[in-house]
Chains A and B, each alone.
Chain A
Amino acid sequence: MGEEARYAWFPGCWVSNRMPYIEAADRRLLETFGIELVEMKGTSCCPEPYAVLGLGRDAWLGLAGRNLSIAEEMKHDILTPCPGCYNTLKTANATLRNNPTQRQRANRLLSKIGREFKEEIGVEHTVNVLYNKIGLEKIAGAIKYPLSGLRVAVHYGCHLLKPSRVTGIDDPERPMVLDQLVEVTGAASVPYVRKTLCCGGPISSVDEKTSYAIAREKLLKVKQAGADCLIVACPACMIQYDTNQRSVEKMFSETYDVPVLYHTELLSLAMGITMDEIGFLHQVKVDKVLERIHAPKA
């Protein structure tokens, strides 16, 4: 892998608090491959775009800059399992680096707490580290129970890939990184119509009906394509498609019954880790998926 693989771990509010099993799964996976994750102390919400960026850019940049400066003190790049945090921190990092006016404003705020943005570190997401740092070959070597026969619909979500000038993980129109991470387990990635459609999650607290209508589009298409399950890489998408699936069904008087798994969850299963150990909670039962997998379910 080359140079040291140590990162400042930034789980984010949703993952650490609402879905800690994502944090556990990501950590376990990353540490298995030799990535060291160092706890960050005193970080705040990244800050999330809807309640903060939408209300005031200065506040957003200030809080984000503060989180970045904590990582700068630790002299480690940030690694986060949440695409929302990834997008926020990476965008803030790029803005502060490239825009002298914004940087000045942010540093003025940071100086009130004795901090300064020094543009010293970068921001990564689990998917990026798995694909580029660890690499498919190494991951393939760790697969104990190939998931051959499993047909998986892959959902990338939006914040991992766009705006592409900032995120730089993959081509937003024809991404393949996550498909490859799925297929390295032996599963087949199933094409379906409008694969890059947003989950609609961000507006669920503002307009549930519209939000669910958007989620519905994806669920219908995934079902149509005959996939065994849907894979996501984002806690917000997970909540939208899994936690809220029954509500969506109810709202539109339809049945989708699409099991939703997290990408690191799938990888963990293929690597022989049991569902119990992984500890994921699913609203939509994943029994049918587990039956297709020959890994121990315990």
Chain B
Amino acid sequence: MKAVDKVRALAENENYRKKLAVCYQCGVCTGGCPVAYVKPEYNPRRMLEAIILGQYDEILSSDLVWLCTSCHSCLERCPQRIEVSELLIELRNLAAESGNIPSLLLERAKRIAETGQSTPISRASVVWREKLNLAPISPANVEEIQRILQATNFPGWTERARNQTNGRRS
């Protein structure tokens, strides 16, 4: 199913629709949003209205869904208890499915799939930790991690990661 259809299905799903449809466009979400404060094109209230009215294409193909900092101020303050920031995460998932992922995030996702960590363990950090009398970082169990990721439709699942897993099996 195309991501756009999924959003439609999401928005038309009775429970979800009920939860979103109660939005009366008060604007508290946008009013407290740190991103909207500095970037006028980013407007959670308008995004929500677009979903309710069925205009998802633009949202899924733009970069805007990736700008939410997940500060959750909108979720805390919405008088209709709409979990706006959670909705944005759903939209991100759907955008990711259609290939709309910022490159740096994809890099990081791949690194997690290949090493289990979001940042590479640098030489400097090894030395540093020694100096601070900290034990070396316990290595992540990459095998287990990869088995989990292999079973999901994780966009960061790379060729390399696949090869690592296959290598292990044989």
Give residues in A with beta carbon < 8 Å to B. 13-14, 16-18, 20-21, 23-24, 27, 39-45, 47-59, 62-63, 66, 109-110, 112-113, 115, 158-159, 162-164, 172-173, 196-198, 200-203, 205-207, 210, 213-214, 217, 279
Which residues in window 61-94 of B have CB below 8 A to A? Answer: 63, 66-73, 75-76, 83, 85, 89, 92-93
Report A23 CB to chain B, min CB distance, Å. 6
Q: Do B76 and A45 have beta carbons less than 8 Å apart?
A: no
Taken together as a complex, chains A and B put the C-alpha atoms of A115 and B144 apart, in Å, by 10
Spot the interface stretch: B5-13, B46-54, B122-130: B122-130
Taken together as a complex, chains A and B put the C-alpha atoms of A254 and B154 apart, in Å, by 42
In the bound complex, residues from chain A placing their C-beta under 8 Å from that of B151 are 62, 109, 112
Of B83, B112, B128, which is within 8 A of A47 by CB?
B112
24 A-B pairs in the complex with CB atoms less than 8 angstroms apart: A18-B125, A20-B132, A21-B128, A27-B134, A43-B138, A48-B108, A48-B118, A50-B105, A52-B112, A54-B105, A55-B92, A55-B93, A55-B96, A56-B152, A109-B148, A163-B75, A164-B76, A198-B69, A203-B66, A206-B66, A206-B105, A207-B63, A210-B67, A279-B132
Q: Do A206 and B125 have beta carbons less than 8 Å apart?
A: no
Residue B116, interface by CB 8 Å: yes
Taken together as a complex, chains A and B put the C-alpha atoms of A206 and B67 apart, in Å, by 7
Of B66, B128, B145, which is within 8 A of A63 by CB?
B145
Question: Which residue on B lies nearest to A14, using beta carbons?
Answer: B119
Interface string of B134-169 (1 = CB under 8 A from A): 110111110111011101111110000000000000
Known: A51-B105, A115-B144. 4 other contacts (CB 8 A): A23-B134, A54-B89, A163-B72, A203-B35
Taken together as a complex, chains A and B put the C-alpha atoms of A217 and B128 apart, in Å, by 33
Residue B20, interface by CB 8 Å: no
In the bound complex, residues from chain A placing their C-beta under 8 Å from that of B121 are 17
In the bound complex, residues from chain B placing their C-beta under 8 Å from that of A21 are 128, 132
Question: Which residue on A lies nearest to B85, using beta carbons?
Answer: A163
Residue B104, interface by CB 8 Å: yes
Question: Which residue on B lies nearest to A277, using beta carbons?
Answer: B132
Residue B2, interface by CB 8 Å: no
Report A249 CB to chain B, min CB distance, Å. 16
In the bound complex, residues from chain B placing their C-beta under 8 Å from that of A162 are 71-73, 75-76
Question: Which residue on B lies nearest to A113, using beta carbons?
Answer: B144
Question: Which residue on B lies nearest to A41, using beta carbons?
Answer: B138
Taken together as a complex, chains A and B put the C-alpha atoms of A208 and B73 apart, in Å, by 21
Taken together as a complex, chains A and B put the C-alpha atoms of A214 and B37 apart, in Å, by 8
In the bound complex, residues from chain B placing their C-beta under 8 Å from that of A109 are 148, 151-152
A58 and B132 in contact (CB under 8 A), knowing A17-B125, A42-B140? Answer: no
Q: Do A50 and B132 have beta carbons less than 8 Å apart?
A: no
Q: Do B138 and A197 have beta carbons less than 8 Å apart?
A: no
Q: Do B152 and A59 have beta carbons less than 8 Å apart?
A: yes
Taken together as a complex, chains A and B put the C-alpha atoms of A47 and B128 apart, in Å, by 24
Question: Which residue on A lies nearest to B138, using beta carbons?
Answer: A41
Report B163 CB to chain A, min CB distance, Å. 19
